[in-house]
Amino acid sequence: MVQIYQDYKDHVDFLTVYVREAHPTDEWQMKSNVKEDVCYAQPKTLEQRVAIANDFVKRFNYPTQFGIDDMSNAANDAYAAWPERIYIIEQGRIAYRGGMGPFNYHPEEARTWLAARYGEVKHEASTATPETKRN
Amino acid sequence: MLKWVGVTVAVLIVAVVIGLSVMAGGLRGAYGMVRYALPHMHRGTLRVGDHAPDASLLALDGSSRFNIRERTGAKPLVIVFGSYT
């Protein structure tokens, strides 16, 4: 997503919303989380969510606007967002609805939407940054 | 008859367990998916063209708040939902 942000930030706004953890240590932890040293228990308080979100932003120098969902999971519920999902809103309406992650989470679809609207951004093979699943 | 129903159910259960294990990378993963993921996964009812729901979000500073609607202006807004893990 960061590469998409870099390519289209002059045309559209980006907002990343932190929702409940997908693979916390006290639930369904993945081996890859241990390998990458991303080990957090499911937050029980909003302060814990804020701390994890800040860890994420600092570790990846994440550039987009960032918001944190309440413990009531209001944003998550409204958008059926968990564990990961992309939407594009235009003039107050849903213009693109991405699939539900992880199996149907395809940032390249959002890129296709943006490319159709603002033109394709091509990268040299040697400098291209691979799209990552992680937000 | 009852015997065959039982056999069919057993075969279906085994098939589901195997399928989930393949998807989740093992039996433990299959359990995690069923126990923790499936209850929270919802396809949702939003469709392209629907009004975008609003919600209040907390900023990274942990004190200020804003609404999604406040960030939808003249430009389209790409919203990415996710977590760290």
Long-range Cβ contacts of A40-48 (<8 Å, 24+ apart): A40/B84, A40/B85, A43/A71, A45/A71, A46/A70, A46/A71, A46/B58, A46/B62, A47/B62
A30 or B79, greater pLDDT: B79
Q: Is A16 helix (H, G, I), strand (E, B) or coil?
A: strand
Tell me which residue range forms the domain holding A63: 2-118
Q: Is residue A130 part of a domain?
A: no
CA distance B22 to A18: 28
- Residues of chain A with Cβ-Cβ distance to B25 below 8 Å are 30-31
CA distance A46 to B46: 26
Q: Is residue A46 part of a domain?
A: yes
Which of B23, B42, B85 is the best residue to mutate to test the A interface, defined by the most A CB atoms within 10 Å of its own CB? B85
Tell me what the pLDDT averaged over chain A comes to. 91
Q: How many domains is chain A partitioned into structurally?
A: 1
The CATH number covering residue A78 comes to 3.40.30.10
Model pLDDT, residue A33: 87
The one-letter code for the residue type at A117 is R
A112 or B31, greater pLDDT: A112
Model pLDDT, residue B34: 84
Residue of B nearest to A83 (CA): B82
**Strand arrangement of the beta sheet that strand A93-97 belongs to:** A93-97, A85-90, B77-82, A13-18, A65-68, B56-58, B65-67
Percent above pLDDT 70 for chain B: 100
Q: What is the pTM of this model?
A: 0.83
Per-residue pLDDT tens over the stretch A118-130: 999 888 765 555 4
Q: Is residue A13 part of a domain?
A: yes
Q: Is residue A32 part of a domain?
A: yes
Is A48's pLDDT higher than 60? yes
pLDDT class of B24 with cuts at 50, 70, 90: confident
The answer to whether B83 contacts A22, with C-beta atoms less than 8 Å apart, is yes
Alpha carbon of A93 to those of A100, B46, B81: distances in Å?
19, 10, 17
Tell me what the pLDDT averaged over chain B comes to. 89
Model pLDDT, residue A131: 52
Q: What is the predicted ipTM?
A: 0.87
CA distance B57 to A19: 10
Is A114's pLDDT higher than 80? yes
Window A:58-77, CB contacts with B under 8 Å: 64-70, 74-76
Residue with tokens 């990343």: A16
Kindly state the average pLDDT of the residues A34-61: 95
CA distance A113 to A120: 10
CA distance A87 to A93: 10
Residue of A nearest to B65 (CA): A67
The answer to whether A87 contacts B79, with C-beta atoms less than 8 Å apart, is yes
Of the given ranges (A105-109, B36-40, B71-75), which has the lowest mean pLDDT? B36-40
Is B35's pLDDT higher than 60? yes
Model pLDDT, residue A102: 85
Exposure string over B49-69, b if 16+ CB within 10 A, otherwise e = eeebbebbbbebeeeeeeebe
Domain boundaries, chain B: 2-71
pLDDT class of A133 with cuts at 50, 70, 90: very low
